Each structure stands twice: as structure tokens, then as C-alpha cells.
Amino acid sequence: MALALRPPRFQPLPAPIPASTASTTALAARPSSSAHAIICAAAASPFTEATSSSRYRRDAWSYAASDGDSSSSSAAAAAAAASSGRRDDEIALQLPELRRLLEALRASRGRGAEGEGGGGGPGRVALVGTGPGDPELLTLKAVRAIEAADLVLYDRLVSNDVLDLVGEGARLLYVGKTAGYHSRTQEEIHELLLSFAEAGANVVRLKGGDPLVFGRGGEEMDFLQQQGIRVEVIPGITSASGIAAELGIPLTHRGVSTSVRFLTGHSRNGGPDPLYVAENAADPDTTLVVYMGLSTLPSLAPKLMKHGLPPDTPAVAVERGTTPQQRMVFAMLKDLVNEVKSEDLVSPTLIIIGKVVALSPFWIDSSKQGAQSIENLYAAETKR
């Protein structure tokens, strides 16, 4: 059966689309016997990709070649780096200004200690979670930390709307990672955080989602604390919670799912099949949430079914969840891989697998028996 579909309840309206392209990019639903996709009109990505003009404007300070460079020449260097697309060039351009900024911070702290009796001690680092993309999901504590920062190191999945909250006098530095390329190694990020904190800066490390859920925040916190740097962790709404709420999917539900499990789709060494936990994860009463799992979904789905998860288990893959560019594909587990490929979803995409997915108002299930079994479970539980 076909159901009328609507955008998620709290999703912002898509950007206006020219009439000439509306037929191919407007909001659309494609129901089928086993799956459906909801595709929202997508203008620019809300995330800071390498070619984001907004990102290069905010980072223009880091492209000055010498102390005497004007802002116009910095902007020109930034534009050249953006057009070339070579991130090796942008890193080389950033290094001189990074050194100068460190020297300025150290000199400022030294003058404060001598002239004003200031402490002159190390600054602090705040690891701040920015949530799944919607800037309205930021906590008040996160907003205050961002506004008070001297220096902000931010990841790829931090939206430009969030970066707009950074104070005018603060400096921004992109340290994002994407598949096949890391603008900075994790060790370099550690050293940047340490160097600026030792110089007395109030450093904010912005991460998508929650810093301590597949965000490597624990590694950064451990490194800095060992060096005597004070670290504050400001949690963010992790993608599992934010996106599930957006789609009306309860991660746990009485009589349907008794637990939830977060999995990563990336192995530490970048192997093609890191989800060796499939044998233990194939529990029909558990909701599985897979982060960064697009590349390994083709191997994960068959493994889950091989180890006992029913092929008709409801599932959904959500690209750029909670943003105006959100796209989502609902399907039974046995069809999910093909449907995701058909819709050509891209990173970042979150995958939710479990019976609770069928409780979403956007679920279409061709198997009346499967839908009825979930309804019966819920009805029986509520009578207890």
C-alpha cells in the first residue's frame, strides 16, 4: 500500500529551487514493495567541505604569507587554495600564520603576567559536541563556549551555521577528516591543541555529534590531561538520538526493543570489513545504530542475517540527518543495501536497524504480517 509522506516534523524547509530544476530535485517519495526514500531538496551542503566558500572566508587569516600581508592578499591566497583543491597547499599556507599566532598569544600572556599581575598560566581546552547538524540542537553551554573561544579547531561535520556563532575576534582552523584524506593527523591535532593551550589561549575543539561517541574526544582528553592541560567536555546530541527523534523512531520501546547498541563502520586500520561484532549484534530485541557505515553496509547486512537477524527487519539509512538536505531510505534489512545504492546516499549517513524503525510514521512495510506482529507486541505489553 502507498502512504502519503511528509518531511520530518521538525525539519526546516528546503531552500527555494529554480523552476527549471524543480522537477528533478524537489521533495519526492518513491514507495515500492519493500522500501521507500524521502529525498529533500538539497542546495549547498550544510557541512564544511573542502570547496566551501564560507569556510575559506572564515579561515582567510591562515593564508597570509608574511607579517605585512594585507587582508586582501590573504583572501586572494584563500581563494587560490579553494580553486586549486590541493589541501597540501593550504596546510603549507597555514603554518606561518599559526606560528605567528602562537608567538602573539605567548607575548600577550607574558605582558599580562608582568604588567598586570596576571597568572600567565596555560589556557584550557573545551571539547564541544555540535550535534548532528541542526544548530538549534546545540546546548546553551556549547554556545557559550563557542562565543568565548580565542581559537576554534573544527571538523568536517560542523555546519557553517554553527561556525557563525564564533566571535569576531576568534580564529578558526579546519582540521577535518574525510574518507581517504585527513587534513591533519590526530597527532598533529593533539600538538595544536597543546601548543595553543600552553600559550594561554581559550581553545574550543568543535566536533559533530558528541565528542565521546566515535569522535576521538577521549584520545584528545587523555593526551591533554597528561600534559597538565585543563579539559572540559561539553556533550552534544549524538546523531543516533537526534536523527531518531527527527524521524519519530524510539531507540528503545517497551515490548519491541530492550536495548540499543552503537557500532562504528570504520576499523582502526581502515580495513574493508571491520564489523566483526555482527555475530553478537544480531539480536532481534536490540536496536543497532551504525555510524559511518556506508562503505561496510554491504558486508554488515548479510552477516547480521547470517547470524540470525530476520531479513525483514526494518531499517533506515539517513544522509545529513536533521539538516534541510536530509535524505532517508527505509527498507527491510534484506533490501537495504540495494536501496541505498539506488539512491546514491553519501557521507555522513547514519543507519538504524531494528523493529523500532517500523514505529516511525514514515515507514512503509509491504509485509502486513511483519507490521502486525510489532503492533501485537506493543498491545500485549501495554496491557500488563
11-43 exposure pattern, b = at least 16 Cβ within 10 A, e = fewer = bbebeebeeeeeeeeeeeeeeeebbbbbbbbbe
**CB 313 within 8 Å of CB 367:** no
- Catalytic residue, chosen from 134, 221, 292, 365, is 292
DSSP annotation string for 211-275:
TTSSSSHHHHHHHHHHTT-EEEEE----HHHHHHHHHT--SSBTTTBSEEEEEES--TT--S---
**CB 74 within 8 Å of CB 63:** yes
* Chain centroid to CA 162: 12
Active site residue 292: yes
- Catalytic residue, chosen from 177, 283, 305, 334, is 177
Active site residue 89: no
Q: What is the distance between the alpha carbons of residues 48 and 174, in angstroms, rounded to a whole number?
A: 9
- Catalytic residue, chosen from 134, 155, 335, 365, is 155
C-alpha angle 159-53-61 in degrees, rounded to nearest 5: 95
- The H or E element containing residue 305 is helix 297-306
DSSP annotation string for 92-140:
HHHHHHHHHHHHHHHHHHHHHHHHS-------EEEEEE-BSS-GGGS-H
Active site residue 67: no
Q: What is the distance between the alpha carbons of residues 125 and 21, in angstroms, rounded to a whole number?
A: 45
Q: What is the distance between the alpha carbons of residues 6 and 2, in angstroms, rounded to a whole number?
A: 13
**CB 357 within 8 Å of CB 314:** yes
Coil/strand/helix, residue 348: coil
| Largest Cα–Cα separation, the chain | 78
Which residues are catalytic, by number?
Answer: 155, 177, 292
